[in-house]
Amino acid sequence: MLKLGPVVIPTSMVTGLLALILGVFVFWKRSREEYFQEVEVLDLVIEALGWGLIGGRLAYILVNFGDFGINVWYWVGIWAHPGLAWPGMLVGGLVAYVRFCRQKRWNVFKSLDLAVIGLAMAQMWLSLGGFFSGTGMGRVTRFVGGVRFPELFEKRHPVSLYGAGVWLVVFGYLWWVEGRYRKFGWYQKSKGDARPGFLFFCYLVVFGVWGVISGLLSEPRWIVWGLDVSIGLKLLVGVIGALGLYARSGLSVKTGMDELWGNWQTEKEKRKKQKGKGFGR
């Protein structure tokens, strides 16, 4: 906790504020270097963050509907009944983000590549906050890296501390590779042609892989029919990242999948035009 005279500020609030400030700063800096309008970048952050929080809150209420019921005051009472669910935050924020980019006619994948650099920085600080507040503890362990949290006797995996290290490494890698991935031979569609989206899908892969690992090190949270739904959802995110990385790379060209996808899109456009002509008669 941070004490300023009679005012006591929780550590999680301090690290959360640092996560927001530094994450937005990194995104703003990289976006400015790519000649995006600064005001529009901040508008994008506010809109995506707002819808992400709304989506996270609604998902949390849905998962814990037995505790909330139809009491609207419980739904909006963040301070009295806190809680957010990451799947809702991810879906809500991503939908708002893509919608904003399309309205501004920005390249969605190029913008997402810049956003995940700042997001990795933010997650590093949020993970640290979870560790210092005692909410990032995992299963009981005898591992040498185990930590004895306050009011507990057994050592437990400091999952949030592990996560802080993971996201710090991810942030460093994304920052470094952003200007280099276009030269990767396996990723290029043809010589000198590399589609944006590399950083975004790499982020999804790490999110999924680390999500599964951290889920196995932690106590189950969302149990449905004896299975931890959270681990399954994170695994799905990782698979989507791997498939997206494959689809955007030159590997899909070599296997012919890119050509099949292009033919399918062409046929789809033809059907749309034919349908439009039919309505015009």
pLDDT for the residue 280:
42
Task: Taking the CA atoms of 45, 203, 112 and 89 in sequence, report the sign of the dihedral they define.
Answer: negative
Q: pLDDT at position 114, please? A: 93
Q: Which pLDDT score, from 0 to 100, does residue 135 have? A: 74
* Contact by Cβ (8 Å): 197, 113: yes
- Give 134-149 pLDDT, tens digit per residue: 777 778 787 777 777 7
- For residues 32 and 38, is the Cβ–Cβ distance under 8 A? yes
Write out residues in the chain with pLDDT < 50, as ranges. Answer: 278-281
Question: Burial letters for 174-211: b for 16+ Cβ neighbours within 10 Å, e otherwise?
Answer: bbebbeebeeeeebbeeeeebbbbbbbbbbbbbbbbbb
pLDDT at 235: 92
Q: What is the pLDDT of residue 159?
A: 87
Q: What is the pTM of this model?
A: 0.81
Q: What tokens were used for 12?
A: 């999680």
The pLDDT tens digits for 26-70 are 999 998 888 788 889 889 999 998 998 888 888 877 777 677 677
Angle between helices 159-177 and 198-217 (to 10 degrees): 170
Tokens of 40: 């529009």
